[in-house]
Amino acid sequence: MSALGAIGILSPDTLLAIARELVSPVGLFLAAAIRVGFGGVLMLAAPASRAPRAIRAVGALVLVAGIITPFVGIERARAVVDWWSAQGALFAHAAPAVACAVGCSLTYLLSPRATSA
Provide the sign of the torsion angle of the four alpha carbons 18, 24, 27, 31, taken in this order. positive
pTM: 0.80
Question: Helix, strand or coil for residue 22?
Answer: coil
Q: What confidence tens digit (pLDDT) does each residue in 5-33 have?
A: 899 899 988 988 988 988 999 999 999 99
pLDDT tens digits for range 89-103: 888 889 999 999 999
